[in-house]
């Protein structure tokens, strides 16, 4: 039985719109064929979310073809046929003999396709920053008559402005994130192991809410006393105690689209220092949200937060947020001082105000937001407070 095409997350017209935007940039840069290798960009252009990007694979976008062609390991071709909007003939699986082969690998299959399609003397775009130096050198050696053009991050910037259909998925993901954080509040108690709390929370993120399931499990951090000054560790083989502080960062995921959320928990009354930091952070968060509007810059948002937090006697060394959408982080705009990126409607950001001060103080709060025609829409409905257990 042939693999059927599965239910599509977006209509065909949505994918063709995205491809048209990419092709317009290809025309501007005089590129005839583009090889997309960043997994999130492949998701954006086709709907494919399988975890096969650890071996060579690529999406070939050609100006003269309406649909792209996906070349991947043969065992992953059925997943692509099932998930992608493209015709099954646009999915090509290369043989297993190219896996773990130091002489000839999956990139050779992609190069062979480009040559067979007549692009041997064309301008070819590649996402060079996502390829090894050896792979880039292989392209230049095997297609010497072609001009290789670096297309790194270009698709990432194109997908920065979301469609209303994408925004709807991010709202669904945010509702799942809220449900996960509320589940954490239910299970965090003295004597409960960090692993059990993490398991219950992650289960909720997968189970979802309101009839919408989590379609993936995003990264999850639970940093509890005495490890609250750490930023990116998972749960420890430890349990909660009276007086414990717990910082959680999690996300809901819907078909690759991610909405992140951070909150701080305290078993018992928070310390005076933590409470003062919380008050400064929330004031800064509100100032940052007030600075979000079309025409403002990412740097303006960071400045608004930093100046407000400074009035409370604290500072934040790390950036204040970043673009978010497919996957957790889009490698484009950041809420950091000096970032000149101009905000536009339907850009989405994780306003990430977690703050780690020295080795004995950490705090977590964040919001995933959308730039609207006049300001900011935050997706979470949870209160901006320390969850006191």
188 pLDDT higher than 90? yes
Residue whose token pair is 């950001």:
349
Residue whose token pair is 């689209």:
257
Class of domain 12-158: alpha beta
List b or e across 128-167, with b for residues whose CB sees 16 or more CB atoms inside 10 angstroms: bebbeeebbebbeeebeebebbebbbbbbebbbebeeebb
pLDDT for residue 91: 98
Q: What is the pLDDT of residues 308-341, one digit of tens each?
A: 999 999 999 999 999 999 989 999 999 999 999 9
- Residue 370's H or E segment, with its range, is strand 366-371
pLDDT for residue 302: 99
Q: What is the pLDDT of residues 126-183, one digit of tens each?
A: 999 999 999 999 999 999 999 999 999 999 999 999 999 999 999 999 999 999 999 9
| Sequence-separated (6 or more) residues with CB below 8 Å from residue 294 | 342, 343, 344, 345, 371, 373, 374
CA dist 331 and 321 (Å) reads 11
**Cis omega (within 30 of 0) on the bond before 226?**
yes
State the burial class of residue 95 (Cβ atoms within 10 Å of its Cβ: 0-12, 13-18, 19+).
exposed
pLDDT for residue 339: 98
| Sequence-separated (6 or more) residues with CB below 8 Å from residue 11 | none
Q: What is the pLDDT of residues 8-28, one digit of tens each?
A: 999 999 999 999 999 999 999
Q: Where in the chain is the domain with CATH 3.40.350.10?
A: 12-158
Residue 217 · residue 142 · CB < 8 Å:
no
Edge-first strand listing for the sheet containing 58-62: 91-94, 69-73, 58-62, 33-36, 123-126, 147-150
Residue 1 pLDDT grade (very low, low, confident, very high; cuts 50, 70, 90)? confident
The architecture of the domain spanning 164-388 is Alpha-Beta Complex (3.90)
State the burial class of residue 293 (Cβ atoms within 10 Å of its Cβ: 0-12, 13-18, 19+).
middle
Q: Where in the chain is the domain with CATH 3.90.230.10?
A: 164-388
371 pLDDT higher than 90? yes
Residue 222 pLDDT grade (very low, low, confident, very high; cuts 50, 70, 90)? very high
pLDDT for residue 229: 94
| Sequence-separated (6 or more) residues with CB below 8 Å from residue 354 | 231, 247, 249, 262, 318, 362, 363, 364, 365, 366
Alpha helix stretches (DSSP H) within the chain: 12-28, 39-46, 77-83, 106-116, 133-142, 154-158, 164-187, 194-207, 272-291, 298-310
Residue 280 · residue 308 · CB < 8 Å:
yes
214 pLDDT higher than 90? yes
pLDDT for residue 293: 98
């Amino acid at each position: 039985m042939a693999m059927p095409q599965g239910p599509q997350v977006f209509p065909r017209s949505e994918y063709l719109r995205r491809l048209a935007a990419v092709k317009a940039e290809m025309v501007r840069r005089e590129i005839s064929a583009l090889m997309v290798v960043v997994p999130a960009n492949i998701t954006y252009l086709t709907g494919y979310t399988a975890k096969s990007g650890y071996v060579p694979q690529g999406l070939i976008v050609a100006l003269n073809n309406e649909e792209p062609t996906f070349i991947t390991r043969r065992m992953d071709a059925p997943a692509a046929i099932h998930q992608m909007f493209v015709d099954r003939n646009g999915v090509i699986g290369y043989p297993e003999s190219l896996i773990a082969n130091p002489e000839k690998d999956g990139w050779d299959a992609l190069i062979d396709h480009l040559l067979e399609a007549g692009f041997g003397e064309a301008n070819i775009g590649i996402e060079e920053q996502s390829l090894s130096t050896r792979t880039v050198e292989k392209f230049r050696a095997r297609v010497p008559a072609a001009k290789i053009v670096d297309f790194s991050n270009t698709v990432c910037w194109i997908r920065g402005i979301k469609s209303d259909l994408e925004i709807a998925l991010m709202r669904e993901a945010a509702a799942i994130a809220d449900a996960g954080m509320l589940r954490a509040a239910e299970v965090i108690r003295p004597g409960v192991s960090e692993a059990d709390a993490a398991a219950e929370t992650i289960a909720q993120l997968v189970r979802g809410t309101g009839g919408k399931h989590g379609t993936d499990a995003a990264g999850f951090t639970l940093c509890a006393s005495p490890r609250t000054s750490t930023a990116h560790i998972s749960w420890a083989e430890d349990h909660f105690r009276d007086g414990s502080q717990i910082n959680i960062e999690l996300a809901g995921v819907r078909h690759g689209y991610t909405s992140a959320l951070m909150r701080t928990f305290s078993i018992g009354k928070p310390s005076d220092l933590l409470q003062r930091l919380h008050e400064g952070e929330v004031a800064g968060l509100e100032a940052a949200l007030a600075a979000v509007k079309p025409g403002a810059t990412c740097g303006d948002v960071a400045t608004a937060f930093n100046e407000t937090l400074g009035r409370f006697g604290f500072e934040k060394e790390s950036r204040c947020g970043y673009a978010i959408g497919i996957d957790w982080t889009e490698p484009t705009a950041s809420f950091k001082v000096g970032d000149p990126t101009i905000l536009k409607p339907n850009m989405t950001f994780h306003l990430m105000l977690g703050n780690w001060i020295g080795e004995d103080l950490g705090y977590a709060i964040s919001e995933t937001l959308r730039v609207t025609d006049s300001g900011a829409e935050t997706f979470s409905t949870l209160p901006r407070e320390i969850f006191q257990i």
